[in-house]
Chains A and B, each alone.
Chain A
Amino acid sequence: MAAERKTKLSKNLLRMKFMQRGLDSETKKQLEEEEKKIISEEHWYLDLPELKEKESFIIEEQSFLLCEDLLYGRMSFRGFNPEVEKLMLQMNAKNKAEEEEEDGTVELDVSDEEMARRYETLVGTIGKKFAKKRDRANYEEDENGNTKPVKTKKMFLKPQD
């Protein structure tokens, strides 16, 4: 008779950690979901229709700097303040340089191809330094004398019957 009647344990007791160790993962998930549901139902929300924000193509700016190209505010003439004169050249040249940058590309000292070639060989020489003695055999010498790694990845070879 006692086996038929199960002792009624409270919900809080069942939620305790030591009671849940015996449960499956599925029942655990169910319990978690129920808890989340209770918590989220208690949250308040606005019962308004969804407002769709119109994509606006107009941006508001209150500054005159965008409108007119104004010069730098500090000026000095005929050598009254040499520092300010230097600044004038710098700041006004900066404004013009920004305009010119959009037109032409910056000239490079080293071309892209040279950089690519250099990095190619660099990988080999530095890589060799850090490779173990066994792996050093993997690095070959090219015709030009550049060390390039020859990657032979060691994979498991299944023995054939």
Chain B
Amino acid sequence: MAEPKLVVVESLPGCRARAARTVLGQVVLPGEELLLPEQEETDGPGVAGERPLRLNAAVCSRLRVVCGPGLRRCGDRLLVTKCGRLRHKESGSGSSGGIYWVDSQQKRYVPVKGDHVIGIVTAKSGDIFKVDVGGSEPASLSYLAFEGATKRNRPNVQVGDLIYGQFVVANKDMEPEMVCIDSCGRANGMGVIGQDGLLFKVTLGLIRKLLAPDCEIIQEVGKLYPLEIVFGMNGRIWVKAKTIQQTLILANILEACEHMTTDQRKQIFARLAEC
């Protein structure tokens, strides 16, 4: 590339913070501050401080903005904590101002409440199972957190089993806890994942890409042969097909499709469809 766009120069601390709206889709670096839409008009040239007093206090009715992963609240502004592209989504109900987040790439998973993950049972101690989810600590899973489990009727979970569950408690101060039922007490597909199959790890960004509603890769994969896939938000994918060879092909495709272009992918699928 002849001349990279000198976007970085403007965003050094001490200079003006940029408006979030103008940066959508561009790469942002940690340490940058972003202004929310309502703040742009009131900031004078170069002064990022006092807002001019307004006689009508009702004018300052600002919309609630949600700052998602990769962003933090810093006073009235957003502070970027991860490098990636800035994204924005308008919320369905017009009351809140939408959500901003940074589309970044990483391999290490940090437990987040509400995420569905695949875990491996590492220990059974008393009433709880210790499940390895790829975070800093193993998550705890109570034996009562399965559908239809009572004190007499314990679930059939052994050490080494794969569990698909969601987090109920996941913050930096406490040990993460997961369950295999939803708030109504139904399993909804969560619980022990069946026999056989292959578990492998990919980056977190790929999981989100594959789970997007209009993902072509999944649609094409689904046409190849009968198979079953489980995606965990912690970067783990479990696949199962009728034969071992088919399973391995599937695993290789999913791992490789992160770095392939659309054409290469189509070539590979065409070749596979022939066999």
Contacts and interface: CB of A to CB of B under 8 A. Distances in A.
Given A68-B212, A79-B226, A80-B227, A74 B189 contact: yes
Interface string B59-88: 000111111110111001010000000010
Contact of B188 (A56, A63, A87): A87
Contact of A59 (B65, B189, B240): B65
B63 A57 contact: yes
B226 A77 contact: yes
Nearest to B172: A62
A67 interface: yes
Contact of B112 (A62, A68, A79, A102): A62
Contacts of B114: 63, 65
Contacts of A79: 226
A72 B69 contact: no
Given A57-B63, A78-B227, A80-B228, A63 B212 contact: no
The interface centre, meaning the residue of A60, A75, A84 with most chain B CB atoms within 10 A of its CB, is: A75
A71 B215 CA distance: 10
B203 to A, nearest CB: 13
Contacts of B130: none
A68 B223 CA distance: 25
Contact of A64 (B63, B68, B213, B225): B68
B218 interface: yes
A62 B227 CA distance: 32
Contacts of A69: 212-213
Contacts of B69: 61-64, 67
A65 B116 CA distance: 10
A73 B227 contact: no
Contact of B229 (A56, A59, A62, A75): A75
Contact of B233 (A59, A66, A73, A99): A73
Interface in B202-221: 208, 211-213, 218, 221
A73 B68 contact: no
Contacts of B211: 70-71, 73
Contact of A73 (B67, B97, B212, B230): B230
A87 B65 CA distance: 33
Contacts of B45: none
B231 interface: yes
Determine which residue in A59, A66, A73 has the highest number of CB atoms from chain B within 10 A of its CB, and name it: A73
Contact of A66 (B65, B99, B228, B232): B99
Contacts of A71: 211-213
B115 A59 contact: no
A59 B67 contact: yes
A58 interface: yes
A25 interface: no
Contacts of A99: 92
A76 interface: yes
Nearest to A77: B222
B87 A67 contact: yes
Contacts of A61: 66-69, 99
A76 B73 contact: no
7 contacts: A57-B97, A63-B112, A65-B114, A70-B211, A75-B222, A78-B226, A91-B189
